[in-house]
Amino acid sequence: GLDVARGVVVDDALRTSDPRVHAIGDCAEYDGVLHGLAVPAQDQADALARVLLHGARVTERDGAAEVPGGMPPPRYRGTRTLTRLTLPAGGPPPSSPPSSATAVREAQPALDLAAFGDPHPRAGDDVVRLSDATRGVHRQVVVRGGRLAGGVLLGDLTAVGTLARAWEDDEPLRSEPLLHLLTHDGEDPHR
């Protein structure tokens, strides 16, 4: 069978452990990340098309190691995704009679969610969590090799801009604790 972790494991040519089989989309795990989103699946499809087209050119040229013009073989390098979602406040259908449970649901605010990068910690990663049940807020970031690898925010999303910039920049974070990244938006995390 194929090597499987959280998904079917693929390399940077989107090949599985069987070199005759490629995988993309929801089932493909690249560099420990399994996305389950449309944009990474589209990126993988584009990358696989380039890989397969290059393979056809290599075969036609008797196994040349490069694409004409000196370009190296195409590779998939991963997809950086940031997803934001707002779930509306729960309420009954209009035809339902009111109840005390209905009043509680109607009083609940919408739920905001943001996720980016790889929010699943690996061995050796640092994880910073901030949860406040009274405010309905949970924030967690994963730091890998001194860089922000990913995170999940529920409730108040004011820190998502700062976190997204630090993650997109992919630069080493300052050595101070990361709690300031979780509580204050608009600050430069690299200073």
Torsion angle of the four alpha carbons 15, 19, 21, 27, in this order, in degrees rounded to the nearest 10: -40
Counting Cα atoms < 13 Å in the Cβ hemisphere of 15 gives 11
> Binning pLDDT at 50, 70 and 90, where does residue 33 land?
confident
- In order of their start, the domains of the chain are 1-77 (3.50.50.60), 82-183 (3.30.390.30)
**Would you call 110 helix, strand, or coil by DSSP?**
coil
Do residues 180 and 187 touch, judged by C-beta distance below 8 A?
A: yes
Q: What angle do CA 51, 115, 48 make, to 5 degrees?
A: 5
- Tens of pLDDT, residue by residue over 82-135, are 889 898 876 555 565 655 555 555 556 788 999 998 888 999 999 989 898 998
